[in-house]
Structure 1
Amino acid sequence: MKVLIVSDSHGWSEVLQQLKERYERKVDAMIHCGDSELSADDPAVEGYFIVRGNCDTENQFPYDIIEGVEGRRIFVTHGHRYNIKMSLMNLMYKAKEYEADLVFFGHSHLVGAESIDGTVFVNPGSITLPRGRKEKTYAILEADHETTTVCFYDETHQELVSLRQVFN
């Protein structure tokens, strides 16, 4: 399984279109973790599983998505409704309730990945307004039966190798 994860694009439709053109036929799913600030009929979000963030006004975007991809249960949310800037505890409890294998979220604009009780949590950072580092980022997650690898890339599609996480 290979998944593109992006978040917090804040109206920048061009970058979503570029990511789609680059990855659409190379990944099993394209996920946007909210704060696109685009309408549901914008061509830039076509093909993305997309959730509603705190800066989104589009009512057609759900707050949470549970999606199955290649036998993995994925929970996608923006994060603001789970207070992720304080702790991942609320998000972890919801992930357990949904029986999620993977959790993708945004909101904080802080890039990172970690495993909690066997569930992998990924925040791709922000593709337009990063916090904590200068690079604008997105993530590619690849998983097989044994290993889950999360790679982070900057807006020029160069991997930020020091951020790569591998979970067994």
Structure 2
Amino acid sequence: MSRWLVVSDNHGDRDILVKLKNQLQPDAVFHCGDSEMRADDPWFQDAYVVQGNMDSDPNLPQVLTPRVAGCQVLLTHGHLDGVNWDLTRLKLRADAAQADVVFYGHTHQLAAEMVAGHLFINPGSISQPRGEFQALGGTCALITVTATQWDVQYVTRDGQPVPDLRFTFARVETQKG
């Protein structure tokens, strides 16, 4: 079992990242971009981080595809894949990467869905949320990974789980080849 923190779009609010990492104590941390922080920021140490459309540090990569706890991860901001409209281009990127799970941001709206064997997770914006769950004041995702499932729990800025925003998905083996 492994616990992952997925966060996005803090837009310079570094303090919330420090607070959540300390409070939630995840095994792995993924940042989906628009941090507006430098690539060498100490908070990024031991974290997987990509560049968003509002990030100016060219040392942040556009896409990462690490293998973490036996899972193939695709991490991107999403702006280059048209995630404001649909997940088609991101799904094609996930297919090419043989990703089990895809983390993306950009829309500032949380989302969790299984598409063609890939689990797509948008943690929402931790600092500038939009859409249906804007009133929560910001969200991130805490994901518990087991051999058979993904347990996705959305968490507010104060580190509290949102009871109605917990989802469980069966783990699906993607074709490795």
Distance 2:104 2:124 in 1: 9
- Per the TM alignment, residue 20 of structure 1 is displaced from its structure 2 partner at its CA by 2.2
- Per the TM alignment, residue 113 of structure 1 is displaced from its structure 2 partner at its CA by 0.4
| 1:2-151 map, 5 Å | 2-23=3-24, 26-132=25-131, 133-135=134-136, 136-151=138-153
Preserved CA contact (<8 Å) 1:73 1:100: yes
Distance 2:40 2:168 in 1: 36
Which piece of structure 1 moves more, 66-75 or 140-149?
Answer: 140-149
Q: Partner of 1:153 in structure 2?
A: 155
Preserved CA contact (<8 Å) 1:14 1:44: no
- Per the TM alignment, residue 18 of structure 1 is displaced from its structure 2 partner at its CA by 1.2
Alignment size in residue pairs: 166
Letter in 2 for 1:58: D
- Per the TM alignment, residue 47 of structure 1 is displaced from its structure 2 partner at its CA by 2.8
Distance 2:79 2:139 in 1: 19
- Among the aligned pairs, what percent are the same residue? 37
Runs of 4+ in 1 over 4 A off after TM superposition: none
Letter in 1 for 2:148: E
- Per the TM alignment, residue 44 of structure 1 is displaced from its structure 2 partner at its CA by 3.0
Preserved CA contact (<8 Å) 1:112 1:163: no
Distance 1:83 1:92 in 2: 11
Letter in 1 for 2:159: H
TM-score, structure 1 length as denominator? 0.95
Distance 1:144 1:29 in 2: 14
TM-score, structure 2 length as denominator? 0.90
Structure 2 unaligned spans of 5+ = 171-177
Structure 1 unaligned spans of 5+ = none
* Alignment RMSD: 1.1
Q: CA offsets per residue over residues 67-115 of structure 1, 9 Å max, x none?
A: 1111100000000000000000110010000000000000000011000
| SS at 1:3 equivalent | strand
| SS at 1:5 equivalent | strand
